[in-house]
Amino acid sequence: MFRLSELEEDALKEFFNMGLGMAADSLSQMVRNEVLLTLPKLKVVPYEEAARMLVENQEEKLVAVRQNFRGELAGTALLIFPGTESLELVRTLLNEDIPLEVVTELEQETLLDVGNVILNAFLESFTQMMHVEFEFESAEFLKGSSRFLLDITSHLAAQRQSLMEGADEDEERAFVLMMDFKTSDEEDAQHTLSGFVVLLFSHQAMLILKRELEVILSGL
């Protein structure tokens, strides 16, 4: 069964930490406010458990921008907001005075742009430390209830068919990185945003990551 050593997990957390730092910088420039970051939580779990973790403690309505990446390193990155938060983000980015129906109309387009910037900044940070190459697919916008989010699992299942060729089904695992972020202006609820980033990697990608981690750590 696939396992990371304590040191390898620590190193991955640090890489993710740097990735989210880059992403938060991009987001903070867009919302013109500081983005507060929590300490990263890293879990290695099966896909199905990852899907359960996504919906745990979340409101019914969720919005996600999903970015699949292919190549030597293959997987899925998700930027997730509770539904109400996503509208607030759009309102903050565009114009706080615009009517709700207009915000709703622009939600998908705006969040795709935001998600694209954030997830790209996040993923590209990997290349600072590791010699891995990957390509981004187009970002996708997803919106719906927790039940719908579970349907993402079946979508992932379809995707991983191509990623998992030759891999033992029992060894499927996903890295789930959950880092909360929120803007600092908590006293003014209209300006408070929060969300989190989740990464799902194929088994094959995890082996590549482990190999890269071993190379990096052996040099220290």
Partner 1 sequence: MDKRKALIVDDSSLARMMVRKFFSESFKDWDLLEAKDGDDALALVEGQTLHLALIDFNMPGMNGIDLSEKLLEKHPDLSIHLVTANIQERMQLRAESIGIGFIKKPINQEKIVAAMQGLKG
Rule CB under 8 A: say whether 186 interacts with partner 1: no
Q: Smallest distance from the beta carbon of 209 to partner 1, in angstroms?
A: 14
Question: Cβ(48)–Cβ(56) under 8 Å?
Answer: no
What mask of x and - would describe binding to partner 1 in positions 55 to 94, judged by CB under 8 A?
Answer: ----------------------------------------
Question: Cβ(46)–Cβ(175) under 8 Å?
Answer: no
Rounded Cα distance, 92 and 106, in Å:
12
Distances (CA, A) of 151 to 59, 86, 146, 156, 175: 16, 20, 9, 9, 19
Choices 23-31, 43-51, 133-141, 185-193 (CB under 8 A): range interacting with partner 1: 23-31
Cα angle for residues 83, 66, 35 (degrees, 5° grid): 60
Instruction: Record the tokens describing residue 91, joined without a space.
Output: 């309102």
Q: Smallest distance from the beta carbon of 179 to partner 1, in angstroms?
A: 10
Half-sphere exposure of 86 (CA within 13 A, CB side): 28
Residue closer to partner 1 (CB basis): 55 or 121: 121
Q: Which of 1, 3, 39, 169 binds partner 1 (CB under 8 A)?
A: 39
Rule CB under 8 A: say whether 192 interacts with partner 1: no
Count of residues interacting with partner 1 (CB under 8 A): 26
Rule CB under 8 A: say whether 31 interacts with partner 1: no
182 DSSP β-pair partners: 36, 194
Rule CB under 8 A: say whether 22 interacts with partner 1: yes
Q: Which of 84, 95, 128, 154 binds partner 1 (CB under 8 A)?
A: 128
Rule CB under 8 A: say whether 35 interacts with partner 1: yes
Rounded Cα distance, 6 and 3, in Å:
9
Q: Which of 1, 3, 4, 7 binds partner 1 (CB under 8 A)?
A: 7
Q: Smallest distance from the beta carbon of 40 to partner 1, in angstroms?
A: 9
**Which chain residues interact with partner 1 by CB under 8 A?**
7, 10-11, 13-14, 17-22, 24-25, 28, 34-35, 37-39, 128-129, 184, 216-217, 219-220
